[in-house]
Amino acid sequence: MSDPHILLTGVRLALGMPRQDMLPEYHKWENDARTILGYGNQWAQAWEVRAAGWERQRGNDRYQQFEVVRLEDTTPVGMTILQINTFVRTAEFVIVLAPEARGKGYAAEATRLTLDWAFHLGALRMVWLKVLEPNRAGITAYEKAGFRRSGRLRKSGYWLGQPVDEILMDALPEEFPGPSAVPTAIGHWPTTTQR
């Protein structure tokens, strides 16, 4: 396995570039039963479908992926994704954590780091997500990261085979719960130009 290419560092986690040699591990996380439940899906995705989609996703500038890396040992623990609408400068947020990384507070930090990148480097105006209403842990993590509830899609998802509402949440740059990790990542950046 190649070493992670770190892009933005937080307290316990960092965002890095996704790695093709990690694709089997990403596929495993995405097909964990709890991940399938959380996304409201019903079926696992075949390896061939996931592998075929890798190049397509990597070549799509509207589909920005980050590997979430634990800083203490550089172990990958998840992925975050921004599905960008370039016309209106917004994005849908998606996260998946490795099963063994859940319940440790990583979702909130990984979400916050991704919002930091989205607003302070990606110049997005708004980031939004959908979460199934029974997913209380997810809702709590998103709220800690700066998302606010903004709506509801009634009976639009499934949880354990039963129709449930999806909660819409959004985040705006002016509501970002600072401080930003971006200044540290870019180092000293002059605010005025010298002539």
| pLDDT for 168 beyond 80 | yes
Name every residue whose Cβ is closer than 8 Å to that of residue 163 and which is 6 or more positions away in sequence.
155, 157
DSSP-assigned states of every residue in 85-143: ETTTTEEEEEEEE-GGGTTSSHHHHHHHHHHHHHHHTS--SEEEEEEETT-HHHHHHHH
Model confidence, pTM: 0.91
Q: How do 126-132 and 90-97 pair as beta strands?
A: parallel
Neighbours of 191 (CB within 10 A): 4
Backbone torsions φ then ψ of 172, nearest 5 degrees? -120, 150
Contact 135, 35 (CB under 8 A): no
Place of tokens 């985040």: 171
Q: What is the pLDDT of residues 182-192, one digit of tens each?
A: 988 888 665 55
Contact 177, 113 (CB under 8 A): no
Q: What is the pLDDT of residues 2-55, one digit of tens each?
A: 899 999 999 999 999 999 999 999 999 999 998 988 887 778 888 888 888 877
Q: Give the CB-side neighbour count of residue 131, counting CA atoms within 13 A.
A: 23
Counting beta carbons within 10 angstroms of the beta carbon of residue 96, is it exposed (0 to 12), middle (13 to 18) or buried (19 or more)?
Answer: buried
Q: Which of 26, 63, 106, 142 is catalytic?
A: 142
Q: What is the pLDDT of residues 152-167, one digit of tens each?
A: 999 999 999 999 999 9
Task: Please say if 142 is a catalytic residue.
Answer: yes
Q: What is the pLDDT of residues 79-132, one digit of tens each?
A: 999 999 999 999 999 999 999 999 999 999 999 999 999 999 999 999 999 999
Q: 116-133 burial string, b = 16+ CB within 10 Å, else e? A: bbbbbebebebbbbbbbb
Q: What's CA 18's distance to the chain center, in Å?
A: 12
